[in-house]
């Protein structure tokens, strides 16, 4: 029992071990390990690099030798038997067996599988050869191989009129023009053989035709092999036989020559005109005088000057609307397409990028035909790709499909402005005057055919590419229903000398633009500028007059003129801001909110005037800002300390060896404290510049208000990244950013005035209170005879006291109200002082009415004086102090010039954005310049304060 059990256990163990080894070997065979030294590279080979006795193995991607008696086939990817050898078996590649033909049957059948005796000589491939006009017969009707091949002559007699086909294996009927002209299959002289067609020489068709393809952009022409073969035959077949495809082919060759012609040279377009003129007896097509029966419609007449009538006379009988039940924003363009030989291919819509060479998603390509969406597409394409994609040109006649009032489908022909067209050797369509244009109809995208010389299978020497295509939609003036004039396709071709297609690249652009007559808008803008500009002149004159009074000079000198110009610059900048912001909001609201289209955005070229206005506003406002900045940092400021000594103390006198009584010195720290507070409020503003910039940026970039500036009909703040994003309008971009900047700025100012200053902190009022508690008055002289006075004389007599007495003084003021020593309840005053040069010496005594010859009086300003910001009364015998409850002394600080600063920052932000089209960069530069000018204002203002008040700058912290 035990032995058997142990034996079984040993047997089981052995079986398990051998089974594991077998599995291991199997896995090693199935899943071989990768050697650490193995590489994964091999020689790079192309089919053309293989020798004549090798073929390109498409699996191994290398050149492999052919077998015995074999050579490479025409494609280079397999082997064929040598001439004189028949195929025994063929499995592709090198798996082919060849056997030499016997001496009595040296020829090989056309399929290569049999040997046969030939009636004559052999070709280079070892096949039987037959004379011209004969066909080779190798099998009977049942397909049985003949012992000897025969050459059969095709019957050219009148009953048959047959000739051998191009392959030489069938007899086919002769070309009809041969039969019609010579009643045979031969085009005998004096008949004319051209393009495989036979024409009688008795007609009056022009014999001397030019087969040149013109390349006006390069200033050269070449003899096109295509034109040489088919121009004359197409023209003759069109004129003589009214052959439809020949007429289309002739028209295509004219289009390939840029629809250019002159009255002397019989090139493609001159031949087309010749046929058109000599078929005047035929009827027109669809009652269109430019469209002759059997001929393609290529021109809108042959005379210049018809373009304005065609483009601006008859609106399309359809309308477009952005919103509402009758929304219609889809332009349905269709094209009749033809190949180069004149065959009609199909009707097709332009959706899917038919005319757009630049690749993109279908959604973005189709956005070009959404009404109201300005479209712009640019790309760079390798020349080799265009040569591959367009071996022969495709021609398009463009139409706009619409539905009339009876719901019937119609199409409207779209005219073409070919910028390369030459009329009598002049590029008439490049003129800005539409009265000199010659409009055409048919277009193509790429022509790599007419530039081929000598051989149509060779690489073209020159290629012509439509590098600029623009679709223009023009709104009917004063329309309320979205009516438009016929669209215009503007196309520009580039002629490229083909040298190395793989290293040559082509810039392509496709655009759709919308335009309307901006004359009325410009007129209204000019009127607004004129009226507001006149008011600005009056305002500047009043400011200059007020300034003359304040400096006490009645003379009109150069300084007066310069001052007027500076004031006028600021007022005119405000005029430009009002006009540009109003204009921008007009376009934003009326374009984005309209249902039936009545306005279209100005084009980029039409926006230049608007951008100029914005630039002028910024330059003028910058001049005003710098003027105010310089005025503030050069102001004269004086402190009057009303504190008086409280008694006398015994003081040792150096050098005398004794002690005597002296007055207690007044502390200077109160003056330092007031000077520091003034230094701190120099750049206090009613808005937070950083919050302003970040909030505007948040609404533009995060919320998506910048999408309102896109040149499309959508008013959505969010856009699908996969959809087409239209270019930005400068006017809308300015309108959106300016509106946000002003709204956020005004909200900040209102919050500051209504809430912050009332409940949190009012630095200006606190400064006035500080002066009162410090017993220090402040004189601010902004002009020679004008300034501001902050009366800080304390009613308590002393401010340099202990805490207990100070608290008692504050409680007394809180109970009885603030008291002042001047005969007025106001604590700040404007001053008009006659004798400025003695003021600094007698300031204290002057305020106390000590100098009767320099006395003053206190009064309130008239309402008109407050509105105009000037004084009507001139100080004659006495100076005048005007009560000032509005703290107008803040005009020498940033605080009192918030409107100027807000508008300057707005214009700076908008100008940078218009230049770089980047809100983030504009916001960064705007905040940076704010900080720079604030730093300059603080530093120089601090130095001015120290020099004018004699306060050591080291105490200004």
Chain centroid to Cα 360, Å, comes to 17
Burial class (CB in 10 A: 0-12, 13-18, 19+), 40: exposed
For residues 111 and 82, the answer to whether their CB atoms sit within 8 Å is no
Beta bridge partners, 491, equal 418, 469
Counting Cβ atoms within 10 Å, is residue 126 exposed (0-12), middle (13-18) or buried (19+)?
A: buried
Locate 380 and state its tokens: 């760079």
Question: Do residues 236 and 205 touch, judged by C-beta distance below 8 A?
Answer: yes
Average pLDDT per run of 10 along the chain, which is 957 residues long?
Answer: 38 39 47 57 84 86 88 86 89 82 88 88 86 85 86 80 79 81 77 74 63 76 87 84 88 92 79 86 85 91 88 89 84 94 93 94 93 94 93 94 85 94 88 91 94 87 94 92 93 92 94 91 92 94 86 84 93 95 94 90 90 95 95 88 66 56 69 88 92 96 94 90 92 96 95 91 88 84 83 68 61 54 41 37 62 68 73 68 77 91 96 94 96 94 85 77
Q: What are phi and psi of 474, to 5 degrees?
A: -115, 130
Task: Locate 452 and state its tokens.
Answer: 């081929």
Instruction: Please state the φ and ψ torsions of residue 261, each to the nearest 5 degrees.
Output: -160, 160
880 DSSP assignment = E
The DSSP secondary-structure symbol of 122 reads B
Interstrand relation of 332-338 and 344-349 (parallel, antiparallel or unpaired): antiparallel
Q: What is the pLDDT of residues 642-654, one digit of tens each?
A: 777 665 555 555 5
Quote the CA–CA distance of 99 and 930 in Å, as a whole number. 94
Place of tokens 């006398």: 648
Closest-CA residue to 234 (of 251, 220, 218, 217): 251
Q: For strand 409-413 and strand 395-403, is the pairing parallel, antiparallel, or unpaired? A: antiparallel
What's residue 813's pLDDT? 59
Helices (H), 634-665: none
Q: Two tokens at 686?
A: 């009613």
- Residue 899 host element (H or E): helix 898-916
pLDDT at 927: 96
Q: What pLDDT does residue 797 have?
A: 61
**Helix 730-751 / helix 608-633 crossing angle, nearest 10 deg:** 30
Cβ proximity of 358 and 378 under 8 Å: yes
For 794, half-sphere exposure in the C-beta direction (CA atoms, 13 angstrom radius) is: 24
Would you state the pLDDT for residue 743?
Answer: 96
* Residues contacting residue 865 through CB under 8 Å, at least 6 positions apart: 871, 872
| H-type alpha helices, 450-504 | none
Alpha carbons within 13 A on the beta-carbon side of 492? 14
Cα angle for residues 581, 587, 589 (degrees, 5° grid): 95
Helix ranges (DSSP H) in 152-224:
176-182
- CB 869, CB 543: distance < 8 Å: yes
Q: Are strands 442-444 and 288-292 parallel, antiparallel or unpaired?
A: unpaired
The full length of the chain comes to 957
| Secondary structure (3-state) at 772 | helix
HSE-up (13 A, CA, CB side) for residue 46: 2
Compute the distance between CA of residue 448 and CA of residue 64 in angstroms, rounded to an integer.
36
Using alpha carbons only, give the angle 58, 64, 70 rounded to the nearest 5 degrees: 110
> Tell me, what's the pLDDT at 550?
80
Q: Which two tokens stand for residue 39?
A: 């590489």
Check if the beta carbon of residue 474 is closer than 8 Å to that of residue 484.
Answer: yes
Output the six-digit token pair for 98.
């060849």
Q: Can you give the C-alpha Rg of the chain in angstroms?
A: 48
Q: What is the distance of C-alpha 352 from the center of its chain?
A: 22
The pLDDT tens digits of the residues spanning 642-699 come to 777 665 555 555 555 556 666 666 677 888 888 888 999 999 999 999 999 999 999 9
Helix, strand, coil shares of the chain, percent, nearest 5, are 40, 20, 40
> Under a CB-based contact definition with an 8 Å cutoff, are residues 642 and 794 in contact?
yes
How far apart CA 743 and CA 395 sit, in angstroms, is 54
Work out the burial of residue 583: count CB atoms within 10 Å of its CB; fewer than 13 is exposed, 13-18 middle, 19 or more buried. buried
Kindly state the DSSP code that residue 484 receives in the 8-state scheme.
Answer: B
Alpha helices by DSSP H, 2-59: 2-30
Got the DSSP string for 787-807? EEEE----TTS-SS--HHHHH
CA angle in degrees (0–180, nearest 5) for 841-846-849: 150
Per-residue model confidence (pLDDT) at position 741 = 96
At residue 693, the pLDDT reads 96
**Nearest-angstrom CA–CA distance, 577 and 878:** 42
790 touches 777 (CB < 8 A): yes
Residue whose C-alpha is closest to residue 238's, from 260, 222, 256, 253: 253
Element (H, E) at 272: helix 268-277
Q: How many CA atoms lie within 13 A of 51 on its CB side?
A: 5
Cis omega (within 30 of 0) for bond into 190: yes
Burial letters for 129-144: b for 16+ Cβ neighbours within 10 Å, e otherwise?
bbeebbbbebeeeeee
- Distance between CA atoms of residues 186 and 571, nearest Å: 91
Coil, strand or helix at 552:
coil
């Amino acid at each position: 029992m035990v032995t058997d059990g142990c034996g079984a256990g040993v047997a089981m163990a052995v079986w398990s071990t051998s089974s594991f080894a077998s599995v291991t070997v199997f896995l090693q065979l199935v899943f071989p390990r990768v050697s650490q030294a193995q590489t994964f590279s091999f020689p790079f080979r192309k089919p053309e690099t293989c020798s004549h006795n090798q073929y390109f193995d498409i699996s191994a991607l290398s050149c492999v030798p052919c077998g015995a008696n074999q050579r490479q086939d025409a494609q280079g990817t397999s082997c064929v038997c040598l001439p004189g050898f028949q195929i025994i078996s063929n499995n592709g590649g090198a798996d082919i067996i060849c056997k030499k033909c016997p001496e009595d049957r040296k020829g090989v059948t056309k399929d290569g599988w049999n040997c046969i005796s030939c009636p004559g000589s052999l070709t280079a491939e070892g096949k039987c050869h037959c004379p011209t006009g004969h066909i080779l017969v190798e099998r009977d009707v049942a397909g049985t191989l003949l012992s000897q091949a025969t050459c059969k002559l095709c019957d050219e007699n009148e009953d048959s009129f047959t000739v051998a086909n191009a392959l030489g294996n069938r007899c086919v009927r002769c070309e009809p023009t041969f039969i019609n002209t010579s009643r045979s299959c031969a085009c005998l002289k004096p008949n004319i053989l051209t393009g495989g067609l036979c024409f009688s020489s008795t007609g009056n068709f022009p014999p001397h035709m030019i087969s040149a393809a013109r390349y006006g952009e390069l200033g050269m022409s070449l003899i096109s092999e295509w034109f040489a073969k088919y121009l004359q035959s197409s023209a003759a077949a069109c004129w003589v036989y009214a052959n439809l495809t020949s007429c289309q082919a002739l028209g295509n060759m004219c289009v390939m020559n840029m629809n250019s012609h002159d009255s002397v040279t019989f090139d493609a377009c001159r031949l087309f005109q010749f046929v058109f003129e000599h078929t005047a007896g035929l009827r027109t097509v669809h009652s269109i005088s430019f469209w002759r029966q059997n001929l393609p419609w290529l021109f809108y007449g042959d005379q210049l000057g018809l373009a304005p009538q065609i483009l601006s006379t008859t609106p399309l009988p359809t309308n477009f609307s952005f919103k509402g039940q009758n929304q219609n924003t889809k332009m349905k363009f269709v094209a009749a397409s033809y190949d180069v030989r004149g065959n009609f291919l199909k009707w097709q819509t332009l959706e899917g990028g038919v005319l757009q060479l630049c690749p993109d998603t279908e959604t973005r390509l189709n956005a070009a035909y959404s009404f109201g969406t300005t479209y712009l597409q640019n790309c760079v394409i390798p020349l080799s790709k265009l040569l591959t994609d367009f071996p022969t040109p495709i021609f398009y006649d463009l139409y706009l499909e619409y539905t009339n009032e009876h719901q019937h489908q119609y199409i409207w022909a779209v005219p073409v402005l070919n910028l390369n067209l030459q009329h009598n050797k002049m590029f008439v369509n490049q003129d800005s005057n539409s009265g000199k244009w010659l409009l055409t109809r048919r277009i193509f995208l790429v022509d790599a055919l007419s530039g081929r010389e000598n051989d149509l299978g060779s690489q073209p020497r020159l290629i012509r590419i439509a590098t600029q295509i623009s679709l223009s939609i023009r709104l009917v003036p004063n329309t309320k229903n979205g009516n438009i004039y016929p669209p215009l396709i503007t196309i520009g071709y580039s002629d490229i000398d083909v040298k190395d297609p793989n290293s040559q690249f082509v810039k392509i652009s496709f655009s759709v633009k919308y335009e309307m007559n901006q004359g009325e808008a410009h007129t209204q803008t000019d009127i607004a500028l004129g009226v507001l500009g006149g008011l600005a002149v009056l305002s500047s004159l009043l400011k200059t007059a007020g300034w003359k009074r304040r400096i006490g000079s009645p003379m009109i000198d150069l300084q007066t003129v310069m001052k007027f110009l500076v004031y006028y610059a600021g007022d005119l900048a405000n005029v430009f801001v009002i006009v540009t912001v109003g204009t921008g909001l007009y376009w934003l609201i009326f374009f984005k909110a309209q249902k039936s289209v009545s306005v279209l955005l100005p084009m980029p070229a039409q926006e230049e005037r608007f951008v100029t206005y914005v630039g002028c506003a910024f330059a003028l406002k910058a001049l005003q800002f710098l003027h105010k900045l310089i005025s503030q940092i050069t102001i004269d400021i004086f402190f009057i300390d009303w504190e008086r000594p409280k008694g006398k103390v015994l003081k040792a006198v150096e050098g005398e060896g004794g002690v005597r009584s002296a007055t207690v010195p007044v502390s200077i720290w109160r003056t330092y404290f007031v000077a520091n507070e003034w230094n701190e409020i120099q750049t206090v503003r009613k808005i937070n510049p950083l919050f302003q910039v970040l909030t505007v940026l948040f609404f533009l970039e995060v919320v998506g208000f910048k999408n309102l500036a896109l040149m499309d009909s959508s008013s959505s703040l969010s856009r699908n990244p996969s959809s087409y994003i239209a270019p930005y309008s400068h006017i809308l971009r300015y309108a959106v950013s300016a509106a946000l900047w002003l709204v956020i700025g005004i909200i900040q100012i209102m919050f500051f005035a209504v809430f912050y200053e009332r409940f949190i902190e009012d630095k200006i009022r606190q400064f006035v209170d500080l002066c009162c508690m410090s017993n220090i008055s402040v004189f601010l002289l902004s002009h020679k005879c004008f300034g501001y006075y902050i009366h800080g004389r304390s009613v308590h007599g002393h401010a340099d006291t202990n805490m207990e007495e100070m608290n008692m003084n504050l409680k007394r003021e809180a109970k009885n109200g603030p008291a002042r020593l001047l005969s007025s309840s106001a604590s700040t005053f404007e001053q008009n002082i006659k004798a400025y040069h003695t003021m600094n010496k007698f300031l204290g005594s002057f305020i106390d009415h000590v100098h009767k010859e320099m006395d003053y009086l206190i009064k309130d300003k008239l309402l008109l004086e407050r509105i105009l910001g000037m004084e009507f009364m001139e100080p004659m015998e006495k100076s005048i102090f005007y009560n000032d409850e509005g703290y107008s002394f803040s005009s020498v600080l940033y605080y009192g010039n918030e409107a100027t600063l807000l508008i300057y920052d707005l214009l700076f932000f908008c100008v940078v954005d218009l230049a770089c089209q980047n809100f983030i960069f504009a916001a960064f530069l705007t905040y940076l310049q704010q900080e720079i000018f604030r730093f300059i204002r603080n530093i120089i203002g601090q130095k001015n304060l120290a020099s004018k008040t004699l306060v050591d700058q080291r105490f200004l912290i």
